[in-house]
């Protein structure tokens, strides 16, 4: 299944990678790999994760305090946010654009 990121989700991913890379060289790459693994799990089992709000589901990352907020659309998975678990919990709710 195809995966589509919203513009903001892609920016959040890039910012988190850059932040972790500044903290410790190589950690940003590890974060990116963890996100890729989580997205692979979402693709394989899109309905497996709990619903956060409405039709939006959350997939928690294993090693980092982030969650992937996504919805299952007819022909793709829409990644709405790459959200830190401890910051402004529902900031992403009004996102509609891709």
Q: Which string of DSSP letters, residue by residue, matches 48-89?
A: SSPEEETTEEEEE-SSSSEEEEEEE-SSEEEEEEEEETTS-T
Altogether, the residues listed in the chain come to a count of 98
pLDDT at 90: 62
Which CATH code is given to the segment(s) 2-84? 3.30.2310.20
* DSSP at 50: P
pLDDT at 86: 82
Q: Are 27 and 16 in contact (CB under 8 A)?
A: no
Which portions of the chain are predicted below pLDDT 50? none
Q: Domain locations in the chain?
A: 2-84
pLDDT at 34: 98
């Amino acid at each position: 299944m195809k995966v589509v990121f919203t513009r903001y989700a892609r920016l959040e991913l890039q910012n988190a990678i850059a932040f972790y890379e500044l903290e410790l060289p190589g950690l940003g790459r590890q974060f990116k790999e963890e996100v890729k693994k989580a997205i692979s799990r979402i693709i394989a089992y899109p309905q497996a994760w709990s619903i956060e709000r409405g039709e939006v589901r959350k997939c928690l990352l294993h090693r980092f305090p982030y969650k992937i907020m996504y919805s299952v659309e007819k022909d793709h998975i829409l990644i709405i946010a790459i959200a830190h678990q401890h910051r402004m919990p529902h900031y992403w709710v009004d996102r509609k654009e891709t």
